[in-house]
């Protein structure tokens, strides 16, 4: 504790201290420049949950020791999601339930979603940011899951770190999706009766099908898992709030990205209305996602500690390319 107080004293004058409910509470007056204080708090956030706030007019620095991550929760959710995706996938093979086929679909989609989240995870670890392992979300949707998330805690060091963490997941997910689609298109597949799902083809999916010289109108559920990966990539790369695309745009444009974040949800809603009212297509997913992203757009994006140093040219190029890839993953009418 003495060493901690000495470090804090380099940036703040401490005039009172207390411990309450496991929280170290320092009553302080800043004596260093704001940028130096932000860097110091970012360093502290690697070991503590950090909060600098005013309580009844007094500036208070609160530190809480980081609780050990409960990995068993990640494991339980992983197993539960494998179960739900297997059960849903087993219904894709026609009139009979095919558990082995369902397990193939489950492994494919878990690989795609896992690659996306681990891209974020390793990028965050590279920048020594505090992050958790993926939490998979089991849910009885048409694919048996709502995807996966990882939780970042603590400060974002700079815009380069924000960019790397934001872009790494979608790019890793796209590569995994291409691989899974290629494998799925080589697998023989026949369905007795009507196909389970009718899907649209985004440009990147159509390109892989063309490159593989695939001519059938039906695809194996493993290839469908890759299609889901493309669809998820586009949804995540929408430049709104704290979605991956929001992180990337915030890193590239700074606070000006908030203007884009406010407009994009309205475009999605209008597009969904156009499909429903003009094209008479029973497809309201874009209206739904527009409403969801509208809520995201009103959540203020956390500022990096160093919000002044811009990205280097290489990252700007990668950012533009990632947006192009996202557009190639866009399916105008995903489901028929």
Using DSSP's 3-state secondary structure scheme, residue 17 falls into: strand
Q: How far apart are the C-alpha atoms of 238 and 258, rounded to whole Å?
A: 13
**Which pLDDT value is given to residue 223?**
96
* 156 has pLDDT over 80: yes
Which stretch of DSSP H or E encloses residue 331?
Answer: none
In this predicted model, what pLDDT tens digit does every residue of 56-105 receive, in sequence order?
A: 889 999 888 877 778 899 999 999 999 999 999 998 887 788 899 999 99
The secondary structure of 47-82 as a DSSP string is TEEEEEEEETTEEEEEEEEPPPP-HHHHHHHHHHHH
- In this structure, the number of other CB atoms found within 10 A of the CB of residue 267 comes to 13
Confidence (pLDDT) at 87: 94
Model confidence band, residue 206 (pLDDT cutoffs 50, 70, 90): very high
Alpha carbon distance, N-terminus to C-terminus of the chain? 62
Closest CA to 179 of 211, 143, 135: 211
Mean pLDDT of all residues belonging to the chain: 90
Both tokens of 150, joined, read 């990882």
Residue 230 C-alpha from the chain's centroid: 13
CA distances from 253 to 108, 249, 311 (A): 35, 6, 9
Mean pLDDT across 151-178? 92
Domain covering 2-65, topology: Gyrase A; domain 2 (3.30.1360)
Q: Domain locations in the chain?
A: 2-65, 71-236+304-328
Residue 186 binned pLDDT confidence (cut-offs 50, 70, 90): very high
């Amino acid at each position: 504790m003495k060493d901690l107080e000495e470090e804090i004293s380099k940036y703040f004058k401490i005039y009172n201290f207390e411990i309450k409910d496991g929280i170290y509470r320092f009553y302080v007056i800043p004596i260093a420049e704001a940028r130096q204080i932000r860097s110091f708090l970012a360093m502290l956030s690697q070991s503590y949950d950090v909060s600098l706030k005013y309580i009844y007019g007094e500036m208070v620095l609160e530190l809480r020791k980081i609780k050990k991550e409960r990995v068993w929760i990640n494991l339980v959710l992983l197993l539960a999601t494998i179960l739900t995706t297997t059960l849903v996938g087993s219904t894709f093979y026609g009139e009979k339930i095919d558990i082995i086929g369902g397990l193939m679909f489950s492994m494919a989609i878990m690989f795609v979603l896992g690659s996306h989240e681990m891209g974020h995870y390793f990028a965050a670890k590279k920048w020594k940011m505090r992050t958790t392992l993926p939490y998979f979300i089991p849910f009885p949707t048409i694919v048996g899951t709502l995807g996966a998330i990882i939780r970042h805690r603590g400060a974002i060091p700079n815009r380069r770190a924000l960019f790397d963490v934001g872009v790494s997941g979608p790019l890793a997910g796209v590569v995994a999706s291409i691989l899974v689609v290629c494998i799925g298109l080589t697998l023989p597949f026949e369905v007795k009766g009507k196909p389970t799902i009718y899907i649209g083809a985004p440009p990147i999916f159509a390109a892989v099908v063309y490159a593989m010289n695939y001519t059938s109108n039906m695809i194996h559920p493993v290839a469908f898992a890759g299609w889901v990966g493309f669809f998820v990539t586009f949804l995540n790369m929408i430049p709104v709030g704290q979605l991956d695309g929001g992180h990337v745009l915030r890193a590239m444009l700074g606070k000006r990205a908030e203007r884009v974040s406010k407009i994009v949800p309205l475009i999605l809603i209008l597009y969904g209305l156009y499909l429903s009212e003009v094209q008479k297509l029973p497809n309201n997913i874009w209206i739904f996602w527009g409403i969801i992203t509208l809520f995201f757009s009103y959540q203020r994006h956390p500022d990096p500690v160093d919000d002044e140093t811009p990205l280097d040219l290489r990252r700007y190029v990668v950012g533009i390319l990632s947006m192009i890839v996202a557009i190639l993953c866009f399916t105008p009418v995903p489901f028929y």
